[in-house]
Structure 1
Amino acid sequence: MMEHITGDEDRVREEMVRIPGFVIRRYRPEDRDEARRILAGGLTGLAWPAFRSAIMVPSNFGLLLAACGAVHALTASPVCTATAFLALLALVYLACRGPFTGYVRETLKGDMADIARHYLSAPGCCFWVAEEEEGGAVTGGRGGGRLAGIVAAKAEPADRPTACHLYRLSVDPRCRGRGLARGLTQVVLDFARDGGFRLCALATTSVQQPALRLYQRMGFQLVGTEPVSLGFLSRLSQIDICYLEKRIELAPG
């Protein structure tokens, strides 16, 4: 259940949304470092699940077996075979880690370097942060404290004038599994509806299966996929970019 409340913090009245255990509010400049931390941690943390998934793909698994078999046939050395196996595993891990670390670098240098300018300076855009609530008190206090999650919305008029795009959804690992990702997504959907948008669009990856299931439970539909293409190594990762959309029912009146 989401409850809209108002608060008076830093002498600024602002609308906030409370869900069980958390308060979601508009971004403030003092939140910058924490917002960047949550985004970077959430994305780089995907490398390990991507690796586990990639090594189970039949083509990659077959490549590992074939390469190790060839090394063993040439050297008849268990040590060389084991070394080759570990080296190939490391190669697959780097292939899985590269797309996420590269994206983090680009994002931190891009919109996340100046969040206010990219998400708070134009109509149809906003950036929210979530703070954990304990005993009725918000743990982040007046901002600048430890945040629980982030999300952003941005209109792309040059692309699709009636669409609002959901960006940067990330939840701190300690707060996952408590409904915060759903609450942050709903805040963007409400923002899109109230802003008169007819569509909410987003992109995620095939590695993020819990996120994909959440979006689809909330009414998003998968409209397309494409493989991550960053050279030969990225093909080993078997990571796809997934595009989803949800039609928005406009608010009455």
Structure 2
Amino acid sequence: MALLSTFSRWFSLADFETQTHRSSMAPYHIRKYEESDRPWVLGLLFQGMDEHVPRTFCHLLKLPRTLVLLLGGPLALFLVSGSWLLVLAASLTLLIALRFLAQYPWSLFVANSLHTDMSDISKSYLSEPGSCFWVAESEG
């Protein structure tokens, strides 16, 4: 019970809002969202979603269907045409198409977010009593 009361006291709204952490890492301050934070929040959303694209692309490349397409398609194209240049161009085009395919769901998520909850952060996250949108600020 003592642990629970310590935990709830440590995470109380008033304490949490004004806590500043100092350690070997950069100092940070957690506070409520302000409209001037919008460009930074949206930038972090874009950056966070873009970080998923390379992993999704690697996952696509490891799928059996993709491996068959990447290996079997150029081989069949070479057997039909006899041109290594055509095989190279087709393989590069296929890899570029797969890269765009890996990026598509994350771009769609960002576009959907910008038309729903992220279009008006204050209305979506701060209008209800007791609701909040936190911002962690580091070195300004």
- TM-score normalised by the shorter chain: which range applies? 0.7 to 0.9
Which one has a bigger Cα radius of gyration? Answer: 2
**Equivalent position amino acid for 2:127 in 1:** S
Question: Which structure has the highest helix share of the two?
Answer: 2
Counterpart position of 1:202? none
Q: Could you tell me which of 58, 74, 82 is aligned with 1:76?
A: 82
Counterpart position of 2:38? 32
TM-score by length of 1: 0.45
2: CA distance between counterparts of 1:83 and 1:46?
27
Counterparts of residues 102-141 of structure 1 (less than 5 Å)? 102-123=108-129, 125-132=131-138, 139-140=139-140
> How many positions carry a matched residue from both structures?
126
Q: How far 1:118 sits from its partner (Å)?
A: 0.3
**Equivalent position amino acid for 2:69 in 1:** L
Question: Which structure has the highest strand share of the two?
Answer: 1
TM-score by length of 2: 0.78
Counterparts of residues 171-210 of structure 1 (less than 5 Å)? none
Secondary structure (helix, strand or coil) at the match of 2:129 reads coil
Kindly indicate whether the alpha-carbon contact (under 8 Å) linking 2:20 and 2:29 is maintained by their aligned counterparts in 1.
yes
Counterpart position of 1:17? 19
Kindly indicate whether the alpha-carbon contact (under 8 Å) linking 2:17 and 2:30 is maintained by their aligned counterparts in 1.
no
Kindly indicate whether the alpha-carbon contact (under 8 Å) linking 1:44 and 1:104 is maintained by their aligned counterparts in 2.
no
**Equivalent position amino acid for 2:17 in 1:** E
2: CA distance between counterparts of 1:17 and 1:58?
50
Question: Kindly, what percent of the aligned residue pairs are identical?
Answer: 30
**Equivalent position amino acid for 1:24 in 2:** I
1: CA distance between counterparts of 2:40 and 2:115?
15
**Equivalent position amino acid for 1:61 in 2:** L
**Structure 2: runs of 5 or more not aligned:** 1-9
Cα RMSD, aligned residues only = 2.4
2: CA distance between counterparts of 1:62 and 1:18?
53
- The structure with higher relative contact order (CA 8 Å, sep 6+) is 2
2: CA distance between counterparts of 1:106 and 1:98?
12
2: CA distance between counterparts of 1:24 and 1:64?
48
Counterpart position of 2:6? none
**Equivalent position amino acid for 1:17 in 2:** Q
Moved beyond 3 Å, runs of 4+: 17-21
Q: How far 1:124 sits from its partner (Å)?
A: 5.2
**Structure 1: runs of 5 or more not aligned:** 8-13, 133-138, 141-253
Do structure 1's residue 50 and structure 2's residue 56 form an aligned pair? yes
